[in-house]
Amino acid sequence: MKFLVLAALVAVASASVVKDSRFDDTVIGRETLVNVDVKVKELCIMKLLNHILQPTLYEDIRTVAREWNIEDNTDKYLKTDVVKNFIETFKMGMLPRGEIFVHTNEKHIKEAIRVFKLLYFAKDFDVFIKTCCWLRERINIGMFVYTLTAAVFHRNDCRGIILPAIYEIYPYYFVNSDVINKAFMMKMTKKVTDNVLANYWGIRVTDKNVCYIDSRKGVRHTLGKDDQLAYFTEDIDLNTYLYYLHMNYPYWMENEVYGLHKERRGEVMTYASEQLLARYRLERLSHGMCDIKPIKWDEKIKTGFWPKIRMHNGEEMPARQGNTILLNEDNLKYKLVFDDFEKMTRMAILTGRMETRDGTVITLKKAEDFEYLARLLVGGIGMLHDDAKVVHITNMLKKMFAYNVYNVDKYTYVPTAIDMYATALRDPLYWRLMKRVNEIVKVYKLLLPKYTRDEFHFPGVKVESISTDKLVTFMDEYDMDITNAVFLDDAEMQKKKSDMLFVARQRRLNNHPFKVTVDVVSDKAVDAVVRVFIGPKYDCMGRLMDINDKRFDMVEIDSFLYKLETGKNTIVRNSVEMHGVIEDRPWTRRVWDHSFDAVDTNSHDRVVDSWWYKTRTGFPSRLLLPMGSRGGLEFQMFVIVSPVRTGLTLPTIDMAQMKDRHTCFWTTCVDSMPLGFPFDRVIETTHFFTPNMKFTDILVFRKDMDLANVNKEVDTSDMVMRRDDLTYLDKDMLMNWSYRDVMLMSTDKMMRM
């Protein structure tokens, strides 16, 4: 049977570099892919995901899709009932290929879980990839991407595979609809036909047929002051981070079946939401904005929200008008269900116990019991042994916030931004939703005993000093490959490549790499856990904050295991190497070309080691610092050096397995102290300050890039600043002199109206 092994990968080591190899269809016959190299597996996945909106470009995939029969190969799957359930669902009819797959839609996710199980329980990679080919040609594209991604995350034989970034697979959720529209316009015209219009829209085509589209240019969309933070909430890497967190621990995934009961999944997900909220609050402080309030049913949402997203089927994500009333006759049923579960959860916290429908009693009294509460809040506690029946309070809230009823039949569903993990952070309402869920967490932590001085203290260890480089942030530009959003014509389908490469140029927050230096004195050689936080010193009103006022605003930027030597230890941490952070993801087409170049297996292994974990759940290193201000905004950095503790009776943790899977979030693999320590509980200040911890004041400067950060690859010698541009932080937008007078005349005319 023909299959996906590319000839260049098995050629002799002297093979030359293959140009445009991303779209090459050179294949050889191969009977099995059980023990192939990770490079081959990776390229197979990339081919399956290339131009996902259209039928596959590759004949080998189509051949396997025709020849493979799932029903005739039931013995090739570890669980026959999984195959039976999927076949029954498929024959009854599944989500049509052209519809939008929505994670929070119960019918959609139930079908997706059955697809995932089919992939997960394939006996080996050969069966797995053949099943993928069969599914690629038959099921909904969104469901296929979702389930394939989840399967690659959790199958052991997929370890090391670098997935294309989700914003390259499906760019529609990550760039504004006007950018997609301009790409389609250029696809039709193949060239710039109106230079004045192209300049206004920020379109430029190079000699190599690369079409750059500046996302900032054109019509401005602002509905309120929250749009000042759009550069942060719409950041493609931040939204990808939330999407991949979900993929790492899907709320519907049963613990015992997939081995997740050995990991602190609930705690990781709740702490991730707490950290996102804390990071959001620091960004608001940079703009002099106060904290957000938890969502309430009896209030109007004063600020509207315009997601500016159009999906591939032409449907626009619904906008929310200002002064929207949350509670209405359409979502009342969801509100009643949520109220029941919220009341049940709060009562369980107060009484210390919860009983499920099957009679199982869950205790919620000790610190280690928090895992069960966390799984209740963010998913992971199943009900009625049904795939989609998972208690998930956050999802209940999401259903509440569907602005109107958009279900027109059993499948069609127009999602709001909150419905999708890839877009939820865009909506200011989602942050308030997370705030309400985290208020439940605070109630639980409030009832736990305060940490004692002994739990804070590390005898014989003292943090003498903390110093950093100058902390500087700036707004820069990032080029995002959106070619997969544009459909290929027949000629391009034959060539398996687009004649034009489409690139969206976006504004984003960045910071200069910096180092944190911590001097620690120890009277013995001992293993220690070092935690580094950044938090506020003053609130939005300029008032000095108490330790208990700001403990939920502390962002953990680094945590790591360190072996202290006797005497003075100087610990230096580079911002781009801090635990769990990621630099810019490489373009998929560059990774693809690298795979052809990397004939040496050891060379490719280095890429796997540095990118496999990070491309999945890494937090962007360029967002470690809040924006700050031009004169320097004062924050505080906190470092605590603690002994390695394993005393808490947390869910059984297989350290070797977790390290092998690279699922070490924060300190979960090296320490059993709760995530967020020492700020996760109310602090008794008389017991808190010990020699092994230290606060220091820091200043975060925002670099003025108005003139320094001009558009790349653009001749600016005859350009001036746009005078009508009122968008915050976009004052560096330039235009040609010849176009300036027209714009100024239009502005003057508007001023006189």
Query: Which of the two residues, 220 and 114, has the higher pLDDT score?
Result: 114
* Maximum distance among all Cα pairs of the chain, rounded to whole angstroms: 77
Q: Which region holds residue 633: left if phi is over 0, alpha if psi is between -120 and 50, else beta?
A: beta
pLDDT one-digit tens code per residue, 91-107: 999 999 989 999 888 88
Q: Could you tell me if residue 587 is inside a domain?
A: no
Overall average pLDDT of the 173-198 stretch: 88
Q: Could you tell me if residue 206 is inside a domain?
A: yes
**Inter-residue contact 515 to 470 (CB < 8 Å):** no
Please tell me whether residues 319 and 190 are part of one structural domain: no
Q: Could you tell me if residue 610 is inside a domain?
A: no
Q: Could you tell me if residue 714 is inside a domain?
A: no
CA dist 548 to 138, 155, 227, 552, 686, Å? 55, 42, 30, 8, 12
Query: Which of the two residues, 368 and 149, has the higher pLDDT score?
Result: 149
DSSP-derived secondary structure letter, 305 = B
Residues 429, 434, 437, 438, Cα dihedral to 10° = -140
Please tell me whether residues 33 and 51 are part of one structural domain: yes
Residue 712: predicted pLDDT: 42
Preceding omega of 678 cis (within 30 degrees of 0): yes
Using alpha carbons, select from 483, 564, 521, 626 the residue that is nearest to residue 165: 483
**108's tokens:** 């959609």
Please tell me whether residues 22 and 40 are part of one structural domain: yes
Overall average pLDDT of the 296-319 stretch: 88
Query: Which helix (H) or strand (E) element contains residue 548?
Result: helix 547-550
Query: Which helix (H) or strand (E) element contains residue 370?
Result: helix 370-378
Residue 255: predicted pLDDT: 65
Stated pTM of the model: 0.87
Residue 746 CB burial class (10 angstroms; 0-12, 13-18, ≥19): exposed
Question: Sorting pLDDT into bands at 50, 70 and 90, what band is 715?
Answer: very low
Please tell me whether residues 442 and 492 are part of one structural domain: no
CA dist 161 to 1, 42, 45, Å? 24, 5, 8
Q: How many Å apart are CA 492 and CA 495, to the nearest integer? A: 5
Q: Using the predicted structure, report yes or no on whether residue 654 has a pLDDT greater than 90.
A: no
Please tell me whether residues 668 and 547 are part of one structural domain: yes
Q: How many Å apart are CA 315 and CA 305, to the nearest integer? A: 17
CATH of the domain at 688: 2.60.40.1520
How many beta carbons lie within 10 A of that of residue 719, not counting itself? 18
Q: How many Å apart are CA 639 and CA 692, to the nearest integer? A: 8
State how beta strands 619-620 and 581-582 pair.
parallel
**162's tokens:** 């670098």
Number of domains in the chain: 5
CATH of the domain at 433: 1.10.1280.10
Residue 599: predicted pLDDT: 32
Residue 171: predicted pLDDT: 96
Q: How many Å apart are CA 474 and CA 626, to the nearest integer? A: 10
Please tell me whether residues 185 and 277 are part of one structural domain: no
Please tell me whether residues 433 and 526 are part of one structural domain: no
Mean pLDDT value across the chain: 81
Q: Could you tell me if residue 709 is inside a domain?
A: no
pLDDT one-digit tens code per residue, 497-518: 899 999 999 999 999 999 999 9
Q: Could you tell me if residue 458 is inside a domain?
A: yes
Q: Could you tell me if residue 403 is inside a domain?
A: yes
Single-letter amino acid, residue 242: L
**Inter-residue contact 282 to 550 (CB < 8 Å):** no
| HSE-up of residue 198 (Cα within 13 Å, Cβ side) | 15
Question: Sorting pLDDT into bands at 50, 70 and 90, what band is 705?
Answer: low
DSSP-derived secondary structure letter, 122 = B
Give percent above pLDDT 70 in the chain: 79
**578's tokens:** 């801090």
Please tell me whether residues 430 and 527 are part of one structural domain: no
**Inter-residue contact 533 to 626 (CB < 8 Å):** no
Residue 382: predicted pLDDT: 59
Q: Using the predicted structure, report yes or no on whether residue 10 has a pLDDT greater than 80.
A: no
Residue 707: predicted pLDDT: 41
The count of residues in the chain is 753
Domain-terminating residue out of 130, 163, 196: 163
CA dist 18 to 26, 29, 606, Å? 11, 20, 21
Residue 696 CB burial class (10 angstroms; 0-12, 13-18, ≥19): middle
Overall average pLDDT of the 276-292 stretch: 96
Question: Sorting pLDDT into bands at 50, 70 and 90, what band is 592?
Answer: low
Chain centroid offset of residue 468 CA: 28
Give the start-end residues of each E strand in 424-522.
461-468, 471-481, 501-511, 515-522
Residue 604: predicted pLDDT: 36
Bridge partner residues of 391 (DSSP): 381
**Inter-residue contact 211 to 183 (CB < 8 Å):** yes
Q: How many Å apart are CA 437 and CA 427, to the nearest integer? A: 16
Q: How many Å apart are CA 238 and CA 219, to the nearest integer? A: 24
**Inter-residue contact 475 to 509 (CB < 8 Å):** yes
DSSP-derived secondary structure letter, 556 = E
pLDDT one-digit tens code per residue, 125-182: 999 999 999 999 999 999 999 999 999 999 989 988 888 999 999 999 999 999 999 9
Overall average pLDDT of the 269-295 stretch: 95
Domain around 645 = 453-470+512-580+618-702
Q: Which region holds residue 128: left if phi is over 0, alpha if psi is between -120 and 50, else beta?
A: alpha
Q: Is the Cα torsion angle 114, 115, 117, 123 positive or negative in sign?
A: positive
Overall average pLDDT of the 704-711 stretch: 49
Q: Could you tell me if residue 122 is inside a domain?
A: yes
Chain centroid offset of residue 12 CA: 39
Please tell me whether residues 465 and 430 are part of one structural domain: no
Q: Using the predicted structure, report yes or no on whether residue 307 has a pLDDT greater than 70.
A: yes
Q: How many Å apart are CA 430 and CA 295, to the nearest integer? A: 9
Give the start-end residues of each E strand in 179-281.
203-205, 210-214
CATH of the domain at 139: 1.20.1370.10
Domain-terminating residue out of 138, 163, 188: 163
Please tell me whether residues 116 and 20 are part of one structural domain: yes
Q: Using the predicted structure, report yes or no on whether residue 268 has a pLDDT greater than 70.
A: yes
Q: How many Å apart are CA 396 and CA 517, to the nearest integer? A: 44
pLDDT one-digit tens code per residue, 659-696: 434 457 888 888 889 999 999 999 999 989 999 999 99
Please tell me whether residues 380 and 400 are part of one structural domain: yes
Question: Sorting pLDDT into bands at 50, 70 and 90, what band is 260?
Answer: low
Q: Using the predicted structure, report yes or no on whether residue 5 has a pLDDT greater than 80.
A: no
Strand, helix or coil for residue 131: helix
Contacts of 304 (CB under 8 A, 6+ apart): 223, 224, 319, 320, 321, 322, 324
Question: Sorting pLDDT into bands at 50, 70 and 90, what band is 359?
Answer: confident
Q: What angle do CA 230, 234, 236 make, to 5 degrees?
A: 145
**Inter-residue contact 692 to 457 (CB < 8 Å):** yes
Q: Using the predicted structure, report yes or no on whether residue 720 has a pLDDT greater than 70.
A: no
Please tell me whether residues 200 and 258 are part of one structural domain: no
State how beta strands 515-522 and 361-363 pair.
unpaired
pLDDT one-digit tens code per residue, 525-552: 999 999 999 999 999 999 999 999 999 9
**Inter-residue contact 241 to 533 (CB < 8 Å):** no
